[in-house]
Structure 1
């Protein structure tokens, strides 16, 4: 297939005004790239062979940030499999101590690794909100994206969470994440309407497995990490970016997750979002300097970023109904 020669409009030119930060309320921390899976769509490029993870020094700085700033409402832990990486439990317990919402982005299959079989009980004890990847409610589609046998392990893990009260008790929130299959041709699609697909998920999982959960979050595949590599191998990258630009919806911009969060990597560097982190596009203060957790502690101020760094893949978050770590934006 011949790569399209069309030029993608710089994202900033689409905006009626520069994309700026609001007050920071969310700390999203990527604890490292260690994972028990190596999913084909993973924008982090995590896997069992990766060793990068949080250090004790950076963990201590993060514990201090959580303690010092009451404006932080949510501590969002991701990876890799965040549960496998250094600092996971200390950060959960610190966030709980300071009455923050705690989110863990779990692949579910981690529950069956020998060191992590207690996770469902641990999550319930600390009232962790579990956001779990289940890119389809059908077995073949899930195993195609995430590896053979992942679907059945995910179903068993969801049952274990239900046994703890997840998806049933109001303080034990269980959300599932859908992302579309990677395209095999230039017939690109956006995620289906979130609420309708949620009803389909709930009906199927309840009927076949007696599983309950709270919300379904639909997330668009951004051309980053393994998704980007996949698209490049098939010469689909430019066409996919053009598709995302063609579906740009300005009504999504005010709800973008990058406006009120800091994304932090395992080295303590700060980004506007997890996608910028993976593309090494660091956040900058008003003087154009790169930011770190250490610098924020020295400033004693989280709100050092005025203008958000953007790139062509930002069209993925603003196409159609929008996309974020919290699902559709509209």
Structure 2
């Protein structure tokens, strides 16, 4: 393979930071086959009160942060979820909650839909297909039906039709177990219409946007690929579909990714592969150091790896879906 950095005409550089994406921890009520975080009900890692307070300081200090993006695990289940939501909304920042939807039916979390509506958080919900069989194969038996009920619940609260309550869905392809199954997501706009028609006709569900996301060979997907001796050939498939037009739009350019220990990464994928972001002097960065620097824009060059081809293949892929229409 060609190293990703060699594909570029110049080093991949940061722009001004606008997005703070925070992984609150690995606790989740599901253990999905496509989870690059390898979250599950057995995981216990989560944010500490000390790191939570540092993150809140960061949110309050830097007006340039426009979006606070909360992930997990199930972010709603991990420490710091509510304090960070409330601190960010107090600063009039957009808050994204990346939800698996089924967490709403777990004990102690049944008030989450109303809480999110009260604070006008944007919900980005995983629904890797609009058909039941495909969803349950990826995410577990019964997940589809719970997800449908959760979406109907959110619609009743105003999500999907109130302009202040945005509800987005996320599609990702099935995890391949043969080379013939290697695929990039379909054209996002067309698939969005298919989702809209099916979910409206069958369940009366409305949502705002569909995001299509490429499977990156990280976490459980990487384990599956290794199990079937497909890891290298899948990386080559992504390289073969590299599209240089996507590079200027990749999400890592204006984003910082924060883990539950307070370490900083260029993106969530680098976080899961333990590839820390670095200053121009080669120093690893933490939330505490950003507070000491009094500066979010201390990263010049983004750390790249072969899986970066996943974000730049075809129409591109990011936490906000395709990079090109």
| TM score, norm. by length of structure 1 | 0.98
Q: Does 1:286 align with 2:280?
A: yes
In structure 2, the partner of 1:219 is 213
Counting matched residue pairs gives 323
Q: What is the alpha-carbon distance in structure 1 between the residues aligned to residue 314 and residue 235 of structure 2?
A: 13
Q: Does 1:309 align with 2:303?
A: yes
Corresponding residue SS for 1:117: coil
In structure 1, the partner of 2:243 is 249
In structure 2, the partner of 1:49 is 42
Q: What is the alpha-carbon distance in structure 1 between the residues aligned to residue 138 and residue 258 of structure 2?
A: 27
Per-residue deviation, residues 90-115 of structure 1 (Å, max 9, x unmatched): 00000000000000000000000010
Alpha-carbon offset, residue 244 of structure 1:
0.2
Corresponding residue SS for 2:179: coil
In structure 2, the partner of 1:140 is 133
Corresponding residue SS for 2:96: strand
Runs of 4+ in 1 over 4 A off after TM superposition: none
Q: What is the alpha-carbon distance in structure 1 between the residues aligned to residue 156 and residue 318 of structure 2?
A: 29
Corresponding residue SS for 1:189: coil
In structure 2, the partner of 1:59 is 52
Q: What is the alpha-carbon distance in structure 1 between the residues aligned to residue 178 and residue 219 of structure 2?
A: 19
Contact 2:219 2:272 in 1 (8 A): yes
Q: What is the alpha-carbon distance in structure 2 between the residues aligned to residue 169 and residue 116 of structure 1?
A: 23
Q: What is the alpha-carbon distance in structure 1 between the residues aligned to residue 145 and residue 195 of structure 2?
A: 16
Contact 2:46 2:78 in 1 (8 A): yes
In structure 1, the partner of 2:147 is 154
Per-residue deviation, residues 22-64 of structure 1 (Å, max 9, x unmatched): 0000000000000000001100000000000000000000000
In structure 2, the partner of 1:298 is 292
Corresponding residue SS for 1:36: coil
Unaligned regions of 5+ residues in structure 1, if any?
Answer: 1-7
In structure 2, the partner of 1:3 is none
Contact 2:177 2:224 in 1 (8 A): no
Alpha-carbon offset, residue 194 of structure 1:
0.1
RMSD: 0.3
- Write the mapping of 1:265-284 to structure 2, written as runs, cut at 5 A: 265-284=259-278
In structure 2, the partner of 1:102 is 95
Q: What is the alpha-carbon distance in structure 1 between the residues aligned to residue 49 and residue 2 of structure 2?
A: 42
Q: What is the alpha-carbon distance in structure 1 between the residues aligned to residue 226 and residue 276 of structure 2?
A: 24
